[in-house]
Each structure stands twice: as C-alpha cells, then as structure tokens.
Chains A and B, each alone.
Chain A
Amino acid sequence: MKSVKFLALAASAALAACSQPATEDGDTARVVNVYSARHYSSDAAIYAAFTEQTGIEVNLVAASGDQLIERVRADGERSPADVIITVDAARLHRAEQAGLFAASDFSDLDIDIPTNLIDPEGYWVSFAKRSRVIAYSNDRVQPGEIATYEDLADPRWEGRICVRESGNAYNQSLLASLVAHLGEEDAQAWAQGIVDNMAREPQGGDRTQINGIAAGECDVAILNHYYYAMMVNSDDPAAQAAAAAVTLFFPNQETTGAHVNVSGAGIAVNAPHPEEARTLIEFFFSDDAQRAFAEMTNEIPVRTDVSWDNPTLAAMLPFNEDSLNVSELGDNNETAQRIFDRVGWQ
C-alpha cells in the first residue's frame, strides 16, 4: 500500500515536472479546496493528519465567513471551493440562502449528531460546539445571584456588565436565540436592559471581558466558554490570574438551556472535488479530529463517545443546551442586528 502511494507520488511529481504546472484538476494528486472561517493555528495539525490518513492534500483560504461567501458567490460556476467552513450558524445559513451549498445527505454519516445541529434541509452539518456563557466575579457576586441571560437585564446589574460589541457574530447569534424564544419585542427589551447595565462601552474580545472583571471594571461578563478555558490553560500567569478571579456558569439551565453555536461545514454546490470534500467533512467527525477540537481549541465535540484529555473543559461539562435548531440563529440574525442598532449597542 505504502509503495503504491509512493509510486503515485513519484509519478505525479514527474508529471508535474515535465508537463504544465499541476492543476487541482489533475488526476494524479487528490486535493480538497477549503474555504474556512476558522483561523485557529491548531487546524493545521488536523489537516496534516487528514492528509496523512487519506493522501488528500488540503488547500486552504481562511477569511471571515461573509468574505468567503462573497468570493464563492462571485466565482460562481468556476469557484474552486469544495468545503466551506464557518464558526457561526448564521453564516452557514447565509451561505445556504445564497445557494452556495450542494444538498448533501449527512444522515448516512453513521454518527449520532443531535438533529438541532444539522441543517433541516441537509445542506450543512456541525462538527463542534461553543456555548455563550456568563462569568461573574468571585469577590463581588454570590453564586446563585444570577441564573439566566434574562437576569442580566435586571436593573440591579446597572453599571456592572462587560460585553463586547454587537458586530460580533457570537453576540448576534445569542440575541437571535432570544428573539426565537422571547419574540422580537422582549428580545429588544433585553438588549436595551444590557445596554443600560453596561459598565463600559463594548470593547475588545471575549478575554477582555474576563480581564475587565479581574480589574474590577465590572462584575459580570458574557463570553464564549472556550476563551475562559484558554485562559485557564494558558502559560501566561496574568491570564491565569484573571481567569481565577471569575466563576463561569452555563445560564438558563432550568429553562431554555445555554445558547450554543457551532463550527460547521457544507459542500460547495460547484465543488470540483465533491468526493474529497465529503471525505474531509467525515474526517471532522473522526475520533482524532473530535479529540483535537476538545484538546486544542477547547470546543465541545459533537460526538459524546470520544474520549479526550482536557480537564478544564471536562470540568465544565455536561450542561443543558438550548435545543433550538441552530439554523434559526440564521433566520433571526438580521432582526437581532437591527435590535442592536436600535438600542445603541456599540
């Protein structure tokens, strides 16, 4: 087997040397072209493992979801994209709405993925989860003082909340989930309540919010769970100290469940290499890849039957998840953004 692969490699190298430069359409080397909104350096290790196991080379362009969608859309029929990956369900939904995904049946993947993480029409599938959670100061907030996202809008938190700007996709999807659960009017009242309770103008990323609590600027913050995990697992003593000053919890455990967003992928409608694209997406559900998500990016693998080693993440689980189909985050994204504009959430 090895020698066959070697021969194939040698043959393709020879061909490439004496004919035109190898194109991705060449039969000799199998490739898959990936447009990814994930910019985590650890993904390189996942792709390397994929190439080693399958012999399929990975070509990568990484940019924001909206940019990738525009590029695929404009290139149309001649787009080289095979797999489109985003880190926000609303962007997956948008790509689907733009007709960029091929209808694919992921039900025969033989993996037990919760149905709320798969597009109802089968255009895309999620392979890792992240939850938007609440952190509070160990010094200034009592455990149990706060239980839900809705609590944050209460006037008793006035001047005590740190949260990042509303252009951020994770905030948009959180509000989109509230629109789905509470309706637009109540969701707007909630957003207004948060704006009224902000300790400072939104700034920085999710870690900045934890630093804000540690520095005494605010008492509670909204952030994605893995940023906290990254700080706990960090080599930087300052980050560890900041993380140690807060407690993280999953909100709405008694009600709707904590808001969950996803890393997901679909196969491009004009994919030149649909087979390889499918092989890659299947690989994201392999033990190796699922373990890598848990151990390297602190994401929650969608498969529950894979073992991994990350005590920080393990200590957070399990928790009650919002069972809303994540495609609804896309449906309500525009409404959420307009609410942000109306209430003046920077």
Chain B
Amino acid sequence: MPAPAHFLRSHVRLPGRTIGLAVLAAAICAAPVLAVAWIALSGETGDYLQHLAGTRLPTYLATSAIVALIAAGGAGLIGTGLGWLIARTEFVGRRTLAWVLILPLAVPAYVAAYAWLDLSHAGGPLQAMTGGLFPTIRGSWGAGLMFALVLYPYVFLLARDTFAGQSADAYHAARTLGAGPLTAFWRTSLPMARPAIAAGLALVVMESLADYGTVSHLGAPTLSIGLIRAWSGAGSLVDAARLSLVLVVIAIFVFGLERAQRRRARSVNAAGRHKPAPRLQLGAGHGLLALLACLTPLALGMVVPLGRLVWLALHTDTAPGLAAASLHSLTLALITAVIAAALGLATAYALRSRTAIATLAARAAGLGYAVPGAVAAVGVIALLSGTQALLDPAWRALTGEVFPILLTATGGALVFAYLSRFAAAAISPAETALARVTPSLDGAARTLGASRGRRVRTVHWPLIAAGVTSAGLLVFVEVLKELPATMILRPFNYDTLAIIAHNFASDERLGEAALPSLLIPLVALLPMIFVARYLSRQAR
C-alpha cells in the first residue's frame, strides 16, 4: 500500500460539491462588491474626487487610520490578555467569566456610543459628578475606544480557544530553560496564538472601518462617512462607489497580512487534544487582579452603557411595535447565521484542498466584509435590478408585462446583503477550528480505514463543532446589529430593533431609543449565553 504518497497528496479528498459551495459563498460575498466596482469604473468622471482630494480626503484617511489603530490596539490588548487569563490560569469566577466575557459582542458599538455620549456630554451626569473633569467620549479616540470595548470578544474568542488548545510542551520547555511565566508566555504561547489573534484583529479593523452609526454619532469622519457624504452630497453614487473601492483595497491588505501570519505560524500551531496544559493557579492577590482585569472591560463595554439605557428606558414611555421588530430581527439573524455557518465551513474545507480556486474563493469572500453596509446594499440593489431587467424580455413575451418585483422587495435581498457583508466572518473561525484537525489525525483515521463521511462525523466534527457554532453566532449577532443595509433593503412595514433604535437616536430622542437599543443585546444574549457556555465547555 503506497501510504506515504497517498498521505501527502491531500488531507481530505474533497468532493466537488464542497468546492462548489465555497465558490457559491464567494460569489454571494463578492458579487455585490463587484457590482459596486462596476458602478465605480463605468460611471462618468466628474471632478468631485479631485475636489475631495484637495479638501477632506486626507482627514477621512487619517481619521480612519486612528480609529482602526485604537480599536485594534485596545481589542488586541483586552482580547489577548483575557483570553490567556481564562485559558491558562485559575482564579475565582473564571468559569463564569469564560463565557460572560464574550457578551459585549452583543452590544452594538453605536449603542455603546449613544449611552457613553449621553453620560459624558457637556453638562451630562459624569461631568456633573466629576466637576467637569470627565472627558466627553467623542471623536476618533472615542469611536476607537467604543470599538475596542465591544469588539474585543472577536480576539478573545479566537485567542482563548487557541491558548486552551495549545500543548503545554513549549511553555514548559521555556520555563525549564529558566524563563519566567511572562517571558514564557511572550516567547512561546503568544507566537503560537498569533494567527488566531490576527484573525480577530482583522475583523475588528474591518468592522471599525465599515461602521457608520458609531462614527457619525461621535463625530469621527472616517472614510465611510466620506463616501456616504459623497453619495448624498454630489448625489453621486459613482463617486461613493469609487471611495468604497479604497476600503476594499484596505481589506485585501488587512486580510493579506492575516493570512501571512497564518502561513508563518502553521508549523508551530500544535493542536489536538493531547496533553492539555495545566492551569496556573493564581493566589488571592493575583486572582483579584485577574478578576478586576476581566470586570473592567465588561463594565465599560456592557454594564455601564446598558445600565444607562435601562435607566433611560424606565423614565420614558415605551415605543410601539417592539415585539414585531424583535421577531423580525431574530428571524433575519437566524436565517443568515445558519447559511453563513454552512458556507463558512464549506469554504474552510475547500481551503484544505489547497487548490487555487478554493484559495481564490476564500479571498473573494473576504471582500464583502470590507464595504460598509450601505454600499453592499447598493451593490445588491444593482445586481438584483439588473437580473430583473434581464428577465424582462422573456417575461414580457410570456405575460406582456415587466418581470414582477420579486428580488428587491423581499427579505431575500436583505439576507443576500447580510451574507455578502458577514459570511466572511464565518470563514476564519471555521478555518481556525479546522486547523485543529491535523494531517496526522486525519491520516491515522484514514489508515484505520474510516470512510470520508465517518472521518468528518467522528473525528472532525467534535473538534470543529465549537468553532463552527461560534462562526454562526458571530454572524447572528452581526445581523442583529446591522443598520444601513437593513434600512435600504427592507420590505414594507418591516422594522427591526436596530432601525427603531436608530430612528429615535438620530432624532436625539435617546429615551425612546433606549428600550429597542437594549433589546438588541438582550435578544442576542440568550442564544449567546447558550453558545458561549457550550463553547467554554468544549474549551475546558
């Protein structure tokens, strides 16, 4: 039996349909972006971009860079630090915190921004309490801070799972060679976790750059503000599309960096379930410090802003229609999450084939994550309208009328836009999870004669279930929070929680915005707690 050659050729021989699914995922994600690119490149050339380059463009770019750096720095620090504490140490409250620390992800950054600005504005409660010393949370640093506080779970989730899955060997070897715990962490654990951290950071950066609600509320003119303004200003969708291509280029760059990390770290990323590292027992003093370190971001990202909203909600009449809006939000999020998780997993599997087409598909899928929701929505509208127009002649021949408005007037367009924006978020976690299925593991199962289906069921699934579920969860929460695409594409009489919250908040009626704003994290919390606890059990 020519085992070695067979072994080397591929980890899992992929059925064609896995690659097919990956290509489908890529098409869904990339098509709206490509439609936007087409709008950008085929449109007439005016002088607006020249005007912009001479006036606001430098500000837009600088603000984007500052916001992204603060967001990534903050989320990286919090996410990695807490991920390591939870995965590798033992202190009072750790087990609960293992899943509670994920929850700020359920708080939309714009909701945190509503609450913090309300608390800290001139003449607001925090300034009154501190005699005017508390700074007003606003501008680039304020927006960056909001992103760091609610997006750090991206890094935390991936870092924690990687730290937990790391073999203790390297760390102990370092300790034996005389390195202190910190040095050992710095020299062994951290480098091994770098791909996971990079994957989390890439999501944080892209989400900060594509955000509109938070930066517009806090007055941080990033590029995404610039392109919405180009659209409304000169009335030029073409110029807005051109500006959004800049974001696409940045995304290609960011995800490229992330992939480079992954490649470099591939050889050292030991996985599997062998020899789980023993936790470092923290004494009372250190345990208290660890607890504080965990509670601080929780308080700032979740407890304080949501507490403020609860207080506001209690002092305001309830807006009508919240039950229906909750149901709409849940339905959209659930449908999108399930499809996205499936597509993400398929892409991750396809990537194992190491074929050029799979790699291309995965990268193309990442494009959707780069563009702001409003731009993705425009791409979806352009595509679906184009499709409907293509169908017109045939339909007219049959019925004498234009093709009915089936595509752009239903929730399907919305799910399409969501998938385009967020399905990429499901690929990275699935891929990270699948990385735990090492070639040797697969080979062993294969040598023992397990069929492909059986290998996937009994060897792969237990190792990747957590990752795939969290992939779906990430998308679920993203959809609940999504605002601009929802506004543009929703069917008649179809409010979601995010829309109701935004409408009141943009009218500065924060009291009425409070309850729908609160309901977003609350609706997200129940499934999140369930999944977070499940994930933590898996990681234990």
A71 within 8 A of B: yes
Q: A346 and B229: CB pair below 8 A?
A: no
Q: Does B404 contact A (CB under 8 A)?
A: yes
Whether a CB of chain B sits under 8 angstroms from the CB of A290 is no
B229 neighbours in A (Cβ, 8 Å): 167, 337
| Interface SS of chain B | helix
- Output the residue of A33, A66, A169, A214 with the most chain B CB within 10 A: A66
Per the CB 8 Å criterion, the residue count for chain A at the interface is 54
Q: How far is the CA of A207 from the CA of B509 in the complex (A)?
A: 9
The one of A227, A235, A337, A338 in contact with B508, judged by C-beta atoms closer than 8 angstroms, is: A227
Q: Which residue of A lies closest to B386 (CB)?
A: A74
- Measured between C-beta atoms, what is the minimum distance from A97 to chain B in Å? 8
Residues of B within 8 A of A206 (CB): 508
Residues on A with C-beta less than 8 A from B232 are 64-66, 167, 169
Task: Encode B478-521 as 1/0 by CB contact (under 8 A) with A.
Answer: 00000000011111111000010001101110011000000000
User: Is the Cβ of B507 less than 8 Å from the Cβ of A44?
Assistant: no
**B402 near A: Cβ within 8 Å?**
yes
Counting chain A CB atoms within 10 Å of each CB, the highest count among B138, B219, B316, B402 belongs to: B219
B408 and A41 contacting across the interface, CB-CB below 8 Å = no
**In the complex, A188 has a CB within 8 A of chain B:** no
CB distance from A303 to the nearest CB of B (A): 25
Q: Is A30 an interface residue (CB 8 A)?
A: no
Cβ contacts under 8 Å, A202 to chain B: 219
State in angstroms the CA–CA spacing of A341 and B218 once bound together.
19
Using Cβ atoms and an 8 Å threshold, which residues of chain B touch A70? 237, 378, 381, 488
Q: Closest A residue to B378 by CB, please name it.
A: A70
Interface centre among B127, B374, B404, B507 (most CB of A within 10 A): B507
B388 at the interface (CB under 8 A from A): yes
Per-residue interface assignment for chain A, residues 190 to 224, with 1 indicating a CB less than 8 Å from any chain B CB and 0 otherwise: 00000000000111111110011011110000000
Asked if A41 and B385 sit within 8 Å, CB to CB, the answer is no
- Judged by a CB distance under 8 angstroms, whether B122 is at the interface is yes
Q: Which among A33, A40, A333, A346 has the greatest number of chain B C-beta atoms within 10 A?
A: A346
- Cβ–Cβ contact B492 & A33, under 8 A: yes
CB neighbours of B218 from chain A (8 A)? 203
Tell me whether A80 and B409 are in contact (CB under 8 A). yes
Task: Check if A338 sits within 8 Å of B51, measured CB to CB.
Answer: yes
Distance A216 CA – B488 CA, assembled complex (angstroms): 39
Tell me, in angstroms, the Cα distance from A15 to B354 when the chains sit together.
Answer: 56
A337 pairs with B139, CB closer than 8 A: no
Let me know if A181 is at the binding interface, CB within 8 A: no
With contacts A41-B503, A60-B493 known, what are 14 further pairs, Cβ within 8 A? A40-B507, A41-B512, A63-B488, A70-B378, A70-B381, A71-B489, A75-B381, A78-B388, A167-B229, A211-B123, A212-B122, A214-B123, A215-B121, A337-B234
| A–B Cβ pairs within 8 angstroms, 24 of them | A33-B492, A39-B503, A41-B503, A61-B490, A63-B488, A65-B232, A70-B378, A71-B489, A74-B382, A74-B385, A78-B388, A94-B235, A167-B216, A167-B228, A167-B232, A202-B219, A203-B138, A204-B508, A208-B121, A211-B121, A235-B316, A334-B235, A337-B229, A344-B56
